[in-house]
Structure 1
């Protein structure tokens, strides 16, 4: 019988396929007491399952190495660390030996215990890591299931399927996408989670918050996933299928229309040119950016050079990667961001740091670079050498105060002198920019601008710091909202200050590539966007229908808005701009 379930669209599009449920409860938990004589056999069975899960992650890492987005690699590494945690292993062994639990029941009990520990933590970032625990436990449970059943349910070996799960790890989504995955339905999740961002980059329709999915959908059910309207149709009718076919035809026409925009200028209705740059970290990203008419690379992530190895990359290895990037863009400007790692990932990159209770607020970005000046100098020298092959700018992450920029500039100038002394060709006047993702830097942006040549606003981190909300925590989905007036006021303040100082400013967070926010950002004065290459054409198309002068007339009202509803009304034109309260005494502008 036809049923319609509703959710929140995290990635647009439609898909028709057979449902494949992925959930711990799909695998039966054996709660029967374990006979004493079978204890050690069960311990070995658990150890074998955990090793199988480790091998699976290692194989997945290897298969996806050349196409792996940075965030996906980080999640694989985090899960591997959990699987190798001795405390987890000992805790599971004790449950089997001392309480005579079977392996599946021990995994369930330990997963629930750890979940409660994470849920009780005050810090929202650490609370959100419960999802990692759940996904690791599910992976080991699946390995146990495969050991005891001849019917291995491997999603990757089947085509034309739609995953239905509580949540899905980014690593699994990346893997399944190469094996016929058509879309994802999540019971939980956030539209700004890593998985949602990945789904959009892979062009996979995805719904989150579809609370009844696991109870209302069975394996092999035919489902129509509608990411355009935020609904799932279980057992679609002929009328539903006709609607899907009509959408397919329209999507094909739209795809051909957008493809023609690859060589078109990015220009508003009132003839103002806007620059669209690409975020990149892999050669495929660079090639796609060039093919789709990007104005250059606005953010090149260098972490992949460090995270995929156990030792630090030397100067020549880094130089070769940066040089190829510059040459690949054929004379278009390239902005290379210096190493952006924290204590939670530094060890895997060959840097030894003490563990931190809250890595998101710890030694990361420029703080890490300045703590290891020799490592930083090696990277800086490699970038400066690559700059001889084309236009390069250097972007420094996690800047909090102007003194950090001054320290980086001093090191850059020292490296340039050393390179010239060693006979390398160098470029004078290389621009050095600050990434604005810390609230303190946004508030005191005038001081930062005195030390920086340009700015790039990183809204992903800025939003979660300003709102004290982790974007991967679905319980905070309504709070982590780019339309929050406090966040908009900070973004507008940074853009306005940069323009007054006569220095370029771009925005390279996730919202830069979401055409739903294009008008808003232009109304705040933004003219330089940087996004995933796959989002370039849609944003260019959106800009072609906007009147910049009219949008700018909304800026003062947007900066005075008190609620999300006021922001939406201004942008949608659903109501005449209401007379809002005068700016508070502490208004930034």
Structure 2
């Protein structure tokens, strides 16, 4: 019987395949108490399973290559450390030796105990670390189960399957995709998790938060995963399948059409050149940006280097990462954003910061960097050293006042002077820009713009701060509206201030990559976008089919709008290109 499960789309696209359930709880747990004479053998079984699990992780690490190798290796190393943690192993031994639990039951108890500790934490990021425990325990349980089942399913070797699980380790995604995994459905997880980040980079459709998936799905069930809508259709009907086949045909036509735009210019019908930059955080994003003809990296997120670790990365590690980004762009500019973490994630980055009742309005972005100056100096030094390999711009997040700009510029100058004194080759001038994501920064921009070389608009935060709407709160979803009249007025204001001052303005929020907003943003005067590299060709196709001068004439009605109906009426009058597939 057809069933629709709902979650959140974490990676775009659709996938049709047979469900393959994979979660720690699927392993049989023998709760029969051990006799005293069985304890030694059971301890031996456990140690053998731990050895096998560790060997599997090492073998997986040895097989890694390509652009994702370094990032994925970090997750594998983290899981290996758990397996070798003396307290973790001692706890299991005590459960078997003193409690007379069998190995599978001891693993389950250890899992439940550790997961309960993580779930009790207030910090959202630390709560998400329970996934590491789930993955490690599941791997050891699997090693135990293989003793009695040589034919255990090997998910990665199958083609045409959709993984259904509680969570999935980032380290598992690469080999799974290489062996034909089509999509993922997770009962837990977040659209901001590391696995979701990798799935988007690898173009694997993913739905997270499908809470009923494990209880309603069985191995072999046919499922249709929609990473755009966040829906999972179990036992799809003929009509569902026909819609999927139509989507496949449209995607094939689109891919063929868009592939011809890889080396094309991005220029409106009236001849205005438009910059399409890429947002990036992985080496694969940089490679994809080059392949799609990006104008440069408009936003390189450095947070990925800081997460899932006990200590912040040092200068050398950061320098090597930034250098690789610059080299990967082959002379095109790379905009590197300084650390954008807050109290919701900072502890997981090896930094100490007290809990905050409202992290979104607390010590985050540049506020955190300036409160931990050594952290900022280290990052700025690493970024400056990378300027020897190509053009680099420094972007500072969460700016709200001119004093922050002055402080960062001073620190940048101190680092440059120090590096030159130490014999490092760095660029003569490095541009400094501010993220405009706080309404105060947008409003006060006329008094700050002369102290900046460029600005970037972060619409994701600008919308939520302007409208006082938490974008992660499902109950407020309808209120989170990037087309609210107040938001459009702020966008137009920032773009106009930048143009009059001769400072480049780039929009790097989610709006930049949504083709339904392209005409609107051009009408407001935007000439530089930054988005996920996988969206560049779609946006280029739309830009090349629009007349910017004609669009600009429609800006006044948009900015005079008093409500959403006025906005919709004005948008309806905007010239739009023929949507891909309209001619069919």
Distance 1:419 1:6, change over 3 A: closer
Larger mean Cα displacement after TM superposition, 479-488 or 425-434: 479-488
* Alignment pair present for 1:220 and 2:225: no
Shift of 1:312: 7.0
Q: Give the equivalent residue in structure 2 for 1:483.
A: 480
Shift of 1:184: 1.6
* Alignment pair present for 1:195 and 2:195: yes
Any residues of structure 2 matched to 1:432-443 within 5 Å, and which?
432-435=432-435
**Contact 1:519/1:551, CA 8 A, preserved across alignment:** no
Distance 1:109 1:553, change over 3 A: farther
1:216-257 Cα shifts (integer Å, max 9, x gaps)? 432233444455666555555666655544443332111111
* Alignment pair present for 1:262 and 2:262: yes
Shift of 1:201: 2.5
Distance 1:300 1:123 in 2: 25
Distance 2:22 2:31 in 1: 21
1:92-125 Cα shifts (integer Å, max 9, x gaps)? 4444344433232233334334434444433444
1:458-477 Cα shifts (integer Å, max 9, x gaps)? 56677899979696xxxx55
Shift of 1:534: 1.9
2:385 to 377, 382, 392: 382
**Contact 1:380/1:412, CA 8 A, preserved across alignment:** no
Distance 1:355 1:58 in 2: 34
2:373 to 364, 370, 373: 370
Any residues of structure 2 matched to 1:77-226 within 5 Å, and which?
79-80=79-80, 82-83=82-83, 86-226=86-226
**Contact 1:5/1:213, CA 8 A, preserved across alignment:** no
1:428-483 Cα shifts (integer Å, max 9, x gaps)? 44211234567886787677656432233456677899979696xxxx55557893
* Alignment pair present for 1:412 and 2:412: yes
Shift of 1:20: 1.1
Distance 1:448 1:176, change over 3 A: farther
User: Could you say what secondary structure the match of 2:262 adopts?
Assistant: helix
Distance 1:399 1:140, change over 3 A: farther
Any residues of structure 2 matched to 1:502-521 within 5 Å, and which?
502=501, 503-509=503-509, 512-515=512-515, 518=518
Q: Give the equivalent residue in structure 1 for 2:552.
A: 549
1:7-56 Cα shifts (integer Å, max 9, x gaps)? 35443433333321112232122222232333344344334434544444
Q: Give the equivalent residue in structure 1 for 2:497.
A: 500
Q: Number of residues paired by the alignment?
A: 556
* Alignment pair present for 1:7 and 2:6: yes
Distance 2:151 2:570 in 1: 53
User: Could you say what secondary structure the match of 2:150 adopts?
Assistant: coil
Distance 2:520 2:71 in 1: 27
Distance 1:126 1:58, change over 3 A: same
Distance 1:402 1:94, change over 3 A: farther
Shift of 1:277: 0.5
Distance 1:258 1:343, change over 3 A: same
Distance 1:490 1:74, change over 3 A: farther
Distance 1:380 1:242, change over 3 A: closer
**Contact 2:319/2:383, CA 8 A, preserved across alignment:** no
Shift of 1:300: 3.5
Distance 1:127 1:535 in 2: 32
Distance 2:99 2:81 in 1: 26
Q: TM-score, normalised by structure 1?
A: 0.75
Q: Give the equivalent residue in structure 2 for 1:335.
A: 335
